[in-house]
Structure 1
């Protein structure tokens, strides 16, 4: 970083690659700590791209220039036009392209080459009842899409309830997991494993646990994943208000979450939403049943209700408490991963997808 008199922030930044070659020079406004320009250099020190920014708080890109042999060869008003130009040069007719970055959707679908675009959707596509703006290009242009890969049937059905996309445009490819061979003795406790964030609704777990404790059960609760911040303070305050300090333990992230699952009666998930709920799958794979809200997406296709856990209506705190009681009163035996989430099933799913691509 370079500084000059009269400016409190950096005025220029030089960035180098892992081999020590200069890769980028960024210039900054004297008025505000925002970029005005990026210059990109190849390994021979030749300028190949300049990127210009609006000199305001939004700091949006307003121009991109591509250089060849020291002269401007091409210009673009935004990154998406640049992406399309790139795709037109790198792809050939007949190529299959997997796209899991919504930023690239428009550029890819506008590509001039006759490719087979496959849209990989890892996260929820809705916000409330509306399709997220970032997902609209992919979902509202199904005529240009060869296939949509989603993790769950639940999401496929939700998409089809809003957009007319036929079944044969979808491939359901859930995550898979290898069977655990580890064994551990169970402790008399429930656990939560994940980030401390508002969308995880950990306070719902505390509320449900309070109801459970009022029935006289001694089982403890351990919450893993606490950081430092407002969410942790809110949870600590609730634990204190309910006089549960001797029953609830708050821990930071653990280096061995699978061991913690193996040693627990059940894990609990009360999130507002999930991409797939990998902790649900990991918990069950370690023989630890899961009590989970029926959130979008994952739990209803990972949990077999009454077999390897319990599915509870979203925001039904009383239902979570009742499931805790069920776990203690009638422990679930032979908790295991569904066959649809095994490596064998994944291989079958991908073989079918490749067969359709090659057809």
Structure 2
């Protein structure tokens, strides 16, 4: 896991308690442009996200994605069945069910055609490149004149 926050100590304690240190490591802050090419899949467990800059970066790096079908960020960047998979989500869902469904989607994604999902992420990222953004602004400014 990359990043750093207020739950880091609790997460490390949980990892240690469960004996999961061989396959879960807290890596702290890193330049994700150097990190993303090392992976096939980006997993987000965020249950609420605004624009989701890290999601956009993962899409730009051509990663397949798995995340909850929660408001805003995830459905913006995760196109279910195309560049990844959305996990059904509701605030009232049982936590064990959420974890189980997330695990199932991760396994399913890793057994899927990752190359096609990578290309779909690259294609989705194109709309966020500078020329496309400048054109969108130009159209908006012309429309409000």
TM-score scaled by structure 1? 0.35
- Residue-by-residue CA offset, 1:263-315 (whole Å, 9 max, x unaligned): 11211111132121111111121122111112221221222222222111236
* Corresponding position: 1:328 with 2:141: no
Whether contact under 8 Å (1:291, 1:311) holds in the other structure is: yes
What are structure 2's unaligned runs of at least 5 residues? 91-97
Matched, 1:253 2:40: no
* Equivalent-residue separation in structure 1 for 2:128 and 2:86 (angstroms): 18
Contact 1:271/1:293 (<8 A) preserved: yes
1:244 to 2, 20, 33: 20
Of 261, 279, 282, the residue aligned with 2:54 is: 279
Aligned counterparts, 1:58-77, within 5 A = none
- Bigger fraction of residues in strand: 1
Which protein is richer in helix relative to its size? 2
* Structure-1 residue corresponding to 2:80: 305
Using the alignment, how far apart are the partners of 2:127 and 2:100 within structure 1? 30
Which residue of the partner structure matches residue 2 of structure 2? 224
Partner residue in 2 for 1:345: 132
Deviations 1:326-356 (A, max 9, x none): 2322241141241443434323321221012
Q: What residue is the counterpart of 2:65 in the other structure? A: 290
Q: Distance in 1 between matches of 2:33 and 2:143?
A: 37
Q: Is the Cα contact below 8 Å between 1:307 and 1:332 reproduced in 2?
A: no
Tell me, what secondary structure is at the counterpart of 2:86? Answer: strand
Is the CA contact 1:262–1:283 (under 8 Å) kept in the aligned structure 2?
no
- The alpha-carbon distance between structure 1 residues 331 and 238, as it changes in their structure 2 partners (threshold 3 A), is farther
